[in-house]
Structure 1
Amino acid sequence: MGRVVITHSTYVEGLIPLLKQLALCPGIDTVTPAVISRVRGRSSQMRLRVSAPITGGHKLVARRGSSVQEVFVVTGWSREQLQQCLDRLLGQTPPNSNSPEGERS
């Protein structure tokens, strides 16, 4: 079970509860929300995608409305495993027996 590092006073709406759920998954060590900014266009619902590899994990991009926020995740999971977990947390895919939560790294 990992932890969520609270470092800012402002977050994309609805992001922290999702990150707390992610941190409960085995194999997730640390989840750190980072810089938030405004972008053109709007995303009516929360979107989380794996953006880039970092040392020891991956960078995510969280988007809702006209805000976007970087999130750093320290984990041994592959990009695909992490994206599958994020999709499940967002309700975009049904859970199955091949979930990364059951795997330990």
Structure 2
Amino acid sequence: MMGNRDRGRLVWNHSTHVSGLIPVLERLLARETAVRTVTPGVIGRSKGRVPKLQLRVSVPIRGGFKVIARSGKTVQEVFVLTELSQQALEAALARSLDS
């Protein structure tokens, strides 16, 4: 059984999030011990519309990656501190979205 020390943490900086994002991030944290911290960031509006939640690894940051979450016309930055490679993080995000 995993203790809380084995799991990463989800930081709540904002009261609003892209629709469906939080459950996906919680599944990512539950499955990937290499993910230390997930912090949803700035939320905004985008041009165009996507029918369902999409997560795309954007750029490397110190200690991890910036991920862009899109749903409908809403976009949100998500900062993931992890030891995973970009390809491993993309695969983990895809598994979390599919569940």
TM-score, normalised to structure 2's length?
0.89
CA distance in 1, matches of 2:83, 2:89: 9
Q: How does 1:36-75 map to 2 (within 5 A)?
A: 36-75=43-82
Q: Are 2:86 and 1:82 equivalent residues in the alignment?
A: no
Code of the aligned partner of 2:46: V
Q: Are 2:27 and 1:31 equivalent residues in the alignment?
A: no
Larger helix percent: 2
Code of the aligned partner of 2:79: F
Between 51-60 and 83-92, the greater mean CA deviation after superposition: 83-92
Q: CA deviation at 1:88?
A: 1.2
Residue 26 of structure 2, aligned match among 17, 20, 30: 20
SS for the counterpart of 1:74 is strand
5+ unaligned residues in a row in structure 2: which ranges?
A: 1-6
TM-score, normalised to structure 1's length?
0.84
5+ unaligned residues in a row in structure 1: which ranges?
A: 93-105
CA distance in 1, matches of 2:80, 2:69: 12
Moved over 4 A (4+): none
Q: CA deviation at 1:42?
A: 0.5
> Percent identity among equivalent residues?
50
Residue 6 of structure 1, aligned match among 9, 12, 35: 12
1:58-85: per-residue Cα shift (whole Å, max 9, x none)? 0000000000000000001000000001
Q: Which residue of 1 aligns with 2:3?
A: none
SS for the counterpart of 1:44 is strand
CA distance in 1, matches of 2:56, 2:90: 6
